Amino acid sequence: MVRVIDEDGELVDGAEVPDLTDEEFVEMYRHMKLARHFDERAVSLQRQGRVGTYPPLSGQEGAQIGSAMALGDDDWMVPSYREHGAALVRGLPLKQTLLYWMGHEDGNLIPEDVNLFTVAVPIASQIPHATGLAWASKLKQEEDKAFLCYFGDGATSEGDFHEGMNFAGVFDTPNVFFCNNNQWAISVPRERQTASETIAQKATAYGFEGVQVDGMDPLAVYKVTKEAVEKAKDDESDDLRPTLIEAVQYRFGAHTTADDPSVYRDDEEVEKWRAKDPLPRMEKFLKNTGRADEDDIADIESEVEEMVSDAIEAAEEMPEPDPEEMFLNVYAEMPKRLEQQLEYFRSIREEFGDDALLED
């Protein structure tokens, strides 16, 4: 398993600090801190009924931020539904992520200049999309673009994992497959998903490289993802372009806010993994190497609190979605029958009023 820093933020034997500027190291920490704080606030908003069911990411910031920062501007990210931190690095405003989980259609608006694909809820179904996107890029003879796809350990049991990876191997597409192995697929543990010793080794079956990395070590994640991204863009090499990265990590919280993890795992296990928390590790690394001090950390803390508060305020200030939006974007041109249904919908709203149509 690839590691760069240990639990105390110290370099492990033989490891090298990745080639990032001091500012970039601090930026990495800021993004992680922002993701953590966002996550805690979002869970709390769900408890207050201000956000719907929400999938928390705490514990996975190292994997998300470390990998997302390894992408170049023109690279693409294909997420599942838990990569709020990675998407934020890619350029998706926090407000959008909040709106989506609040059930607001506008949360689906990805800014035109952000190379991020849509959230995919059906497990592993985004993997063939990532292969297809990368394959199209290759067929268009684009160079210098990599396509990073996230999924969890549970997804590796799905047929779409196999089909997407297998196509990527056969057609040698510029893909990076990034498995956030957080040990649990809701209540089913990693060892119940597969008898393979590692998930990374599954890459061998598809003819390309697999690498296992400490997913709670953002610097190690950055390093292996950067290498995989470069490999994806290198069509000269004899090796196949895709890589499967298994980032070994832990989900501190629930699968979603509708889940109670105490039913299927004990506190002892959670505590064991908390010792590997990527945030204190990164903080210690910054302090140990003189890249940040207490004051800097405190500044970042208040900065992210403010950013998250602003995002929540902006999301909650959004007017309720226009109910007619249901009918938009189903087809390029609205079919006549759908137009008739829209007319009917307008007429019942007019006749009964919205209050009558909405649950109390």
- 262-274: burial string, b at 16+ Cβ within 10 Å, e else: eeeeeeeebeebe
Encoded amino acid at 302, one letter: S
Closest CA to 41 of 257, 244, 281, 309: 309
Q: Is 251 assigned a catalytic role? A: yes
How near is the Cβ of 225 to other proteins at its closest, in Å? 20
- 288-317: burial string, b at 16+ Cβ within 10 Å, e else: eeebbeeebbeebeeebeebbeebbeebee
> What's the rounded Cα separation, in Å, for the pair 338 and 325?
12
127 binding other proteins? (CB under 8 A): yes
270 and 254 Cβ atoms separated by less than 8 Å: no
Q: Is 264 assigned a catalytic role? A: yes
Q: Which of 166, 201, 256, 289 binds other proteins (CB under 8 A)?
A: 166
Site string for other proteins, 83-122 (x = CB under 8 A): ----------------------xx-xxx-x----xxxxxx
Percent of residues in the chain assigned helix, strand, coil, to nearest 5 = 50, 10, 40
- The one segment of 38-46, 81-89, 136-144, 217-225 that binds other proteins by CB under 8 A: 136-144
DSSP code of 5?
B
DSSP code of 119?
P
**Sign, Cα dihedral of 303, 117, 278, 41:** positive
Q: List, in sequence order, every residue forming a beta bridge with 152; answer none if it has no partner.
A: 180
Number of residues forming the site for other proteins (CB under 8 A): 42
> Catalytic: which of 192, 264, 344, 346?
264
> Catalytic: which of 41, 90, 255, 281?
255
125 and 154 Cβ atoms separated by less than 8 Å: no
Q: Which of 17, 47, 103, 170 binds other proteins (CB under 8 A)?
A: 170
Q: Is 255 assigned a catalytic role? A: yes
163 binding other proteins? (CB under 8 A): yes
> Judged by CB, which is closer to other proteins: 52, or 132?
132
Site string for other proteins, 305-334 (x = CB under 8 A): -----------------------xxxxx--
- The one segment of 2-10, 16-24, 134-142, 177-185 that binds other proteins by CB under 8 A: 134-142
215 binding other proteins? (CB under 8 A): no
335 binding other proteins? (CB under 8 A): yes
> Judged by CB, which is closer to other proteins: 128, or 261?
128
282 binding other proteins? (CB under 8 A): no
DSSP code of 167?
H
337 binding other proteins? (CB under 8 A): yes
Q: Which of 17, 23, 72, 139 binds other proteins (CB under 8 A)?
A: 139
DSSP secondary structure of 301-321: HHHHHHHHHHHHHHHHHSPPP
Integer angstrom CA distances of residue 198 from 124, 193, 204, 210, 345: 18, 11, 11, 10, 53
- The one segment of 53-61, 124-132, 207-215, 226-234 that binds other proteins by CB under 8 A: 124-132
How near is the Cβ of 359 to other proteins at its closest, in Å? 23
In angstroms, how far is the first alpha carbon of the chain from the final one? 53
134 binding other proteins? (CB under 8 A): yes
> Catalytic: which of 31, 90, 241, 251?
251
β-pairing, 147-152 with 209-214?
unpaired
Binding residues for other proteins, per CB under 8 A? 105-106, 108-110, 112, 117-122, 125, 127-137, 139-140, 159-160, 162-164, 166-167, 170, 328-332, 335-337
Q: Show which residues are catalytic.
A: 251, 255, 264
